[in-house]
Structure 1
Amino acid sequence: MRTLCASTLIGEFFVVGFAGLVAMQTSDLSTGTVWTVSGVAMALCVLLCGMLSRPGAVGIGWALQIGLIAAGFVVPTMFFMGAVFAALWWASVHYGRKIDEAKARFAAAAGDTAAGATPAP
């Protein structure tokens, strides 16, 4: 799960940065405000990559997805991009957990085989 979720977060890092550039040119917000909000979101993306194995990290990731969608009020394209990344986040969490479970089953089967037992079907 960590690899898929981290890949999604790194993609979001770049999208948030580019959205900040667009917001700086098209919104009435000051440059400092745009880059403070964008910088915090970008830092959260990177920090969350390292925290994915900790409890609550997935929930923080969901909060980040909601914030990304809400950025559409400043840059309307972010409604679409936020929805796309929310779908990617869901897929990363959902399928990442399935992959982790399959890896654990294969590791357990390999351990049983190495110990001389026959693997379970």
Structure 2
Amino acid sequence: MRTLCSSTLIGEALLIMFAALVAVHLSSVSAGTIWTVSGIAMVLCVLLCGMINRPGAVAIGWALQLGLIASGLVLPTMYGLGLVFAGLWWCSVHYGRKIDVLKAQRAAASTASAVSV
């Protein structure tokens, strides 16, 4: 799960950076506010990559997705992009957990076959 979620979060951090560049020029919100909020969101995305296996990390990831969708209030294109990244986040969590279970089963089977030999 860590790899899938981390790659989604890094992509999201890049999206936030590019959206901030556009929002500075197209919105009526001050540049300082845009960069402060965007900077916090980008740092949170990158920090969450390293903590994705800890309790509550997935919930924080969902909060980031909601924040990304809500950024459509400043830049309307972000409604669609936020929904796309929320879908990617769901896929990363859902299929990442399935992959983790398969890896654990494979490791258990490998250990069992090594012990029986």
With structure 2 as the length reference, what TM-score do the two structures score? 0.98
CA shift for structure 1 position 6: 0.1
1:29-58 Cα shifts (integer Å, max 9, x gaps): 111001000000000100100110110000
Which amino acid counterpart does residue 51 of structure 1 have in structure 2? M
1:67 counterpart = 2:53: no
Normalising by structure 1, we get a TM-score of: 0.95
Point out where structure 1 has 5 or more consecutive residues left out of the alignment. none
In structure 2, the partner of 1:80 is 80
Q: Kindly provide the CA deviation profile for residues 45-104 of structure 1, in whole angstroms up to 9, marking residues without a partner as x.
A: 001001101100000000000000000111111000000000000000000000000000
Q: How many residues align?
A: 117
Q: Which residue of 1 aligns with 2:22?
A: 22
Larger Rg: 1
- RMSD over equivalenced CA pairs, Å: 0.7
% same residue: 66
Q: Which has the higher contact order (CA 8 A, sep 6+)?
A: 2
After the TM superposition, list the runs of 4 or more consecutive aligned residues in structure 1 that deviate by more than 2 angstroms.
Answer: none
C-alpha separation in 1, matches of 2:57 and 2:116: 39
Q: Secondary structure at the match of 2:116?
A: coil
C-alpha distance in structure 2 between counterparts of 1:48 and 1:113, whole Å: 36
